[in-house]
Amino acid sequence: MNYNLNTLSGAQQKTSTYAALKSLLQLIAHEKKNLLLALLAIVLNAAFNLLGPLLIGYTIDHYVQQKQYQGVLQFSGILLAVYLLALFTSYYQTQLMGGVGQRLLFTLRNVIFNKLQVLPVAFFNANKAGDLISRVNNDTDRLNTFFSQSLMQFIGSIVTMTGAGIFLLIINVKLGAATLIPALLILIFTKLVSPWVKRKNAVNMTSVGGMSAEIQESLNNFKVIVAFNRRDYFRERFAKANLQNYTTAVGAGLANNIFLPVYSLLSALAQLVVLLYGIHLIAAGSFSIGLLVSYLAYATLFYNPLRQLATLWASFQVALAGWDRIGHILSLDTNLAVLKGVAAEPSSQSIVEFRNVHFGYTEGKEILHNISLQLQKGKTYAFVGPTGGGKTTTASLIARLYDPTSGTVLLDGKDIREYGPEALSKKIGFILQDPFLFTGTVKDNILYGNEQYRHYSNEQLEQVITEAGLETLLTIFENGLLTSVSSGGESISLGQKQLIAFMRAVLRHPEILILDEATANIDTVTEQLLGEILNKLPAHTTRIIIAHRLNTIRNADEIFFVNAGEVTRAGSFNEAIDKLLNDKRVS
């Protein structure tokens, strides 16, 4: 599956408004009761507002012109009661939809975040974190604004317009038809312009996501910026992203505001038609002054919601554009699904086996070529080779961060695709060269993902660490388990981060422990200590070490050279040294 959101967005923009709205409403199906109550309140509100002009016209014809002021006062009281009921129903539906909007926001952000949790590493390699954050925060907030503020106004406007249109036609068909002709022009204009407005808003949201990504990248790499004195470089990049966002925002703003002046012009034209034609009918004796007043009021009730719809329709297009961007993520599925019954071939006795494995991060560019190898349980293996040769890629396939393009990876004689994420996490420990730590303490980070010791007290955990031979590593931290760790681990050294990652992995008791340059940033004494700890691991633990320094792999049972996508067996440490020397003599 392609995890490039830019490619997906091009296809998703063709989604119809009806399909987008339908899929969005499915997400809040559990709010059906509240939506129906709000809809009922809207209908009642529209009915009360539509009753007003009829009462006013009746009062003028039967009481005002006849100077029967008692009747005027009575109908004034009735009119006041009607408008108070309209006020109550309006408040009630606003309160209901405010709650629906907030619950939608809560649900939607949870759904998106949970979806992100199941997507593979390839997705995050292809998409910037800042843009994803913008989708979770900004785009969902636009949907919340539409649902809590605009949706019921949108429906209320349509209901009021429909009712007003019916009254216009009932009172006088010819005058009603003439009054509604500008509305037909508005409908045609809206139909033609809406796709363009939606595209403009989608482009603007994409630029907002790009600017968020640019800001995040600059802040995450601020140390490097300062060290190389290249503030100008990132200043120029931000200025470019900011200018692009400004340009798209202006375009979206112009698009969103195009409806109001056109709607207002055609609404004024309708009012003029009513006035001129109505006076003509009064002069002909087929219309009364009270009916003309009512008719003008109904024409206003028909076209004022249209003016409101000009703003609401733009808001609707913004919400749909946001939903498209959110829908892109929700429509994705992991390409690392757990499969059943795929290991039809004879099972291997090795802990790990590659059978004719090919792999590339992008289509048409292969990183590993037809790799076949076997790793036995309880042995120590080293992957060495030049930078970019494929060492980390090979280890990533063992941990199933990716699946091979073709071929099979077997774990314990079983296709690795048959293991669920939890089972793989228990079997395989992976220590990265630059491990990521969370804000909290050393204890929080050591226990991350480790349910076995989750509820242990500090004393109990220290006992477990001592039994695992890790107590010396813990003394390196000033406050032991309670040492504070800031976001990303910036409050401690890179070497200390690697030690935390090492303890975190070892305490999980994995069957396979992968160390990807895990000792690259620690001193020689600590590195020797880690080597001793590795030697004390259970006999069944298989160790896979990726390293450039020869002393790191001195005790490996077998060494593999990984270079240019090929993995070749080099034998023991001495055999590997001999091969290196021979290669140098030949060259």
- HSE value, Cβ hemisphere, 13 Å, CA-based, for 330: 20
188 occurs within a structural domain = yes
Q: Return phi, psi of residue 412, to 5°.
A: 55, 40
State the DSSP string of 134-172.
HIIIIIHHHHHHIIIIIHHHHHHHHHHHHHHHHHHHHH-
Name the token pair of 544. 């896979």
Claim to verify: residue 363 and residue 240 sit in the same structural domain: no
Q: How far apart are CA 25 and CA 22, in angstroms?
A: 5
Query: Would you state the pLDDT for residue 7?
Result: 42
Name the token pair of 322. 């946001």
- Fill in the amino acid letter for 478: E
What residues pair up with 375 in beta bridges, in sequence order?
A: 352
Average pLDDT per consecutive 10 residues, the chain (587 residues; last block may be shorter): 46 53 69 80 82 75 72 80 86 77 77 80 74 78 74 78 82 81 82 82 80 73 65 78 85 80 80 79 75 78 76 73 78 76 60 92 84 90 83 88 90 88 86 78 84 86 87 85 75 79 86 82 73 80 80 80 85 69 51
Query: Would you state the pLDDT for residue 229?
Result: 66
Claim to verify: residue 326 and residue 359 sit in the same structural domain: no
Q: How far apart are CA 76 and CA 328, in angstroms?
A: 55
341 occurs within a structural domain = no
Residues 6+ apart with CB under 8 A from 478: none
Of the residues 278, 295, 330, which one is the last residue of a structural domain? Answer: 330
345 occurs within a structural domain = no
Domain containing 459 — which CATH number? Answer: 3.40.50.300
Q: How far apart are CA 417 and CA 400, in angstroms?
A: 8
Claim to verify: residue 321 and residue 389 sit in the same structural domain: no
Claim to verify: residue 311 and residue 424 sit in the same structural domain: no
Q: Which domain holds residue 447?
A: 352-586
Q: How far apart are CA 515 and CA 430, in angstroms?
A: 6
Of the residues 282, 298, 330, which one is the last residue of a structural domain? Answer: 330
Q: How far apart are CA 392 and CA 90, in angstroms?
A: 61
Q: How far apart are CA 27 and CA 283, in angstroms?
A: 57
Claim to verify: residue 316 and residue 358 sit in the same structural domain: no
3-state secondary structure of 411: strand
30 occurs within a structural domain = yes
What residues pair up with 373 in beta bridges, in sequence order?
A: 354
Claim to verify: residue 387 and residue 313 sit in the same structural domain: no
In which element (H, E) is residue 85 found? helix 69-118
> CA separation (Å) from 551 to 267, 548, 561?
83, 9, 16
Claim to verify: residue 226 and residue 100 sit in the same structural domain: yes
Q: How many CB atoms lie within 10 A of CB 171?
A: 18
Claim to verify: residue 60 and residue 147 sit in the same structural domain: yes
Asked whether the beta carbons of 517 and 493 are under 8 A apart, the reply is: no
Claim to verify: residue 164 and residue 25 sit in the same structural domain: yes
Name the token pair of 9. 């967005």
Rg of the chain (C-alpha set):
35
Name the token pair of 111. 């759904």
| Chain position carrying tokens 């760790």 | 485
Claim to verify: residue 325 and residue 358 sit in the same structural domain: no
What residues pair up with 543 in beta bridges, in sequence order?
A: 380, 513
Q: How far apart are CA 517 and CA 530, in angstroms?
A: 13
Picking from 315, 338, 500, 486, the residue whose alpha carbon sits closest to that of residue 403 is 338
> CA separation (Å) from 181 to 201, 452, 509?
30, 73, 77
Q: How many CB atoms lie within 10 A of CB 13?
A: 14
Q: How many CB atoms lie within 10 A of CB 217?
A: 16
Strands annotated E in 224-327: none
335 occurs within a structural domain = no
Q: How far apart are CA 566 and CA 144, in angstroms?
A: 52
What is the count of structural domains for the chain? Answer: 2
Query: What's the whole-model pTM score?
Result: 0.62
357 occurs within a structural domain = yes
Kindly give the residue spans of alpha helices, DSSP state H, lying in 437-545. Answer: 442-446, 458-467, 471-474, 494-506, 524-535
Claim to verify: residue 189 and residue 271 sit in the same structural domain: yes
Residues 6+ apart with CB under 8 A from 326: 108, 112, 135, 139, 140, 143
Angle between helices 32-59 and 289-330 (to 10 degrees): 160
Per residue, the 3-state secondary structure of 360-384, as one string, reads CCECCECCEEEEEEEECCCCEEEEE
Asked whether the beta carbons of 557 and 571 are under 8 A apart, the reply is: no
Name the token pair of 166. 């019916």
346 occurs within a structural domain = no
Residue 264 burial (C-beta neighbours within 10 Å; 0-12, 13-18, 19+): middle
Buried/exposed code over 84-113 (b: 16+ C-beta within 10 A; e: otherwise): ebbeebbebbeebbeebbebbbeebbeebe
Q: How far apart are CA 246 and CA 193, in angstroms?
A: 22
Domain containing 241 — which CATH number? Answer: 1.20.1560.10
70 occurs within a structural domain = yes
Claim to verify: residue 313 and residue 359 sit in the same structural domain: no
